[in-house]
Every structure is written in C-alpha cells, then in structure tokens.
C-alpha cells in the first residue's frame, strides 16, 4: 500500500478530531458539500401506477439543463438543510456561509465546518461576494476543516447526499422549482425521523487500521 502524504494524514486526523468532539451548541460541527443535479422532463405522459404495478414512463426525455444542490449536515443533532441553486459559484458558497452564521446558528460562538478543498470553498469567496467588513464578520464565526485531497469520503455529508440521491433523486425532475420542492419534502421527513450518521472511525482507528499509510 502506497504511503500517503503528511498533508493527507494531518487533514484526516484534523477532521476525525472534530467528529470526536462532544456536542456543544456554542460550537456546532457542521458538514458541508454540494452536488450537480440534471433536470429532465417527460416528453410524453407516463402510465399511472396500478395495484401490483409500478408507474411506467417513456424512455425518451427532455433535457432541461442542470442546477446545483448545497447541503448542510449536523450529525450530532440529526439536522440537515439543502439549498437548490441555479449554479455553483463563489457567491453561492458565500451566501451559504452567511446563512449558516446568521440563520441556522446565530447564537453560536464558533461554527466548525467540515468541507472539501474545492476552489470555491475559501475565505476569499466571501471577500469577493461581500464588502470586507461583512466578510470578516462572517468568517470570525467560522472555522474551516478541510478534508484531504482524494479523502472527501471523510465528510459525513457525502453519506447524506447519497441517501438523498437514492431516496429522492433517482427519477425525472423537470425544473429547479420542482427539485427544490421534492428535496424540501425529503429533508422535512428525514429531520422529523432524527436520522443521522453514526460515525465510528476515529484517530485511534486510523493509526491502527491504516498504520501502513503512516510508515
């Protein structure tokens, strides 16, 4: 097994250390990520479901472009929030971070955010989107913990996004508004169920099970 870089090991252990922290509403841990979504509509009406039969639809479909879906996920409270946007730009990321600070965790002292190293995921994005005073105000309440390159599996929100795809997105959704409606319904149900990810991989496990990566 090939040896990984010291940067990979450090970033992995940094994220795992965040996950090991006990819940404190003043210092919430939030995972963040996004995924593209393709919008597809039916060219012909499908056949409704009947007892003992699944719905049927024509193999041809209409391409209605793509959009983006951001997701916040707080495993310790079984909370998630998805936001559908027309695109994924630095300004969109900056708006998400402002929402995190002002809307979802306004009473927090510091929010620890686990995210990947995408070029748009940077403090600079907030300075491009807002005036310096506003960007600085938001960033003072954020502490970014980046997953290592090729290590995005360490971000728990990826598991939640996979659940969303399997339970909600494996069908044709024709428009951005329809996608936002369907995702909101899925999100409300999953939050009501208090569904979460029970993460068990720790720094100790990494050093024990992946010891060859360290040597």
Q: In angstroms, what is the C-alpha Rg of the chain?
A: 20
Q: Which two tokens stand for residue 105?
A: 């965790």
Are 169 and 67 within 8 A, CB to CB? Answer: no
Q: Indicate whether 51 belongs to any domain.
A: no
Is-above-0.85 flag for pTM? Answer: yes
Are 191 and 80 within 8 A, CB to CB? Answer: yes
Averaged pLDDT score across all residues of the chain:
90
CATH number at 85 reads 3.30.420.10
Q: According to the model, what pLDDT value does residue 111 have?
A: 98
Q: Indicate whether 115 belongs to any domain.
A: yes
Q: Label residue 167 left, alpha or beta by phi (over 0 means left) and psi (-120 to 50 means alpha).
A: alpha
**pLDDT tens by residue, 55-109:** 655 555 677 789 999 999 999 999 999 999 999 999 999 999 999 999 999 999 9
Q: Indicate whether 53 belongs to any domain.
A: no
CB atoms within 10 A of CB 47: 12
Q: Indicate whether 50 belongs to any domain.
A: no
Q: Indicate whether 49 belongs to any domain.
A: no
Q: Indicate whether 54 belongs to any domain.
A: no
Are 77 and 38 within 8 A, CB to CB? Answer: no
**pLDDT tens by residue, 102-146:** 999 999 999 999 999 999 999 999 999 999 999 999 999 999 999
Q: Is the pLDDT of residue 53 over 70?
A: no
Q: What domain count does the chain have?
A: 1
Q: Indicate whether 77 belongs to any domain.
A: yes
Q: Indicate whether 1 belongs to any domain.
A: no
φ/ψ of residue 195, rounded to 5: -75, 140
Report the number of secondary-structure helices (H) and strands (E) in the chain.
8, 5
Q: Which domain holds residue 129?
A: 6-43+59-214
């Amino acid at each position: 097994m090939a040896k990984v870089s010291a940067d990979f090991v450090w970033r992995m252990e940094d994220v795992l250390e965040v996950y090991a922290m006990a819940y404190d509403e003043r210092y919430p841990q939030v995972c963040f990520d996004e995924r593209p979504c393709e919008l597809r509509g039916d060219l012909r009406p499908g056949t409704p479901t009947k007892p003992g039969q699944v719905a049927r639809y024509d193999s041809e479909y209409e391409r209605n472009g793509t959009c983006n879906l951001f997701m916040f996920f707080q495993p310790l409270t079984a909370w998630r929030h998805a936001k559908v946007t027309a695109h994924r730009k630095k300004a969109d990321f900056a708006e998400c971070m402002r929402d995190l600070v002002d809307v979802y965790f306004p009473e927090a002292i510091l929010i620890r955010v686990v995210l990947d190293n995408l070029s748009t995921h940077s403090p600079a994005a907030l300075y491009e989107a807002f005036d310096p005073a506003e960007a600085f105000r938001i960033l003072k309440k954020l502490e970014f913990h980046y997953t290592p390159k090729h290590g995005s599996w360490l971000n728990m929100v990826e598991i939640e996004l996979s659940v969303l795809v399997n339970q909600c997105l494996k069908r044709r959704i024709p428009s951005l508004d329809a996608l936002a409606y369907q995702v909101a319904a899925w999100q409300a149900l999953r939050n009501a169920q208090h569904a979460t990810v029970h993460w068990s991989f720790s720094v100790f496990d990494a050093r024990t099970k992946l010891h060859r990566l360290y040597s």
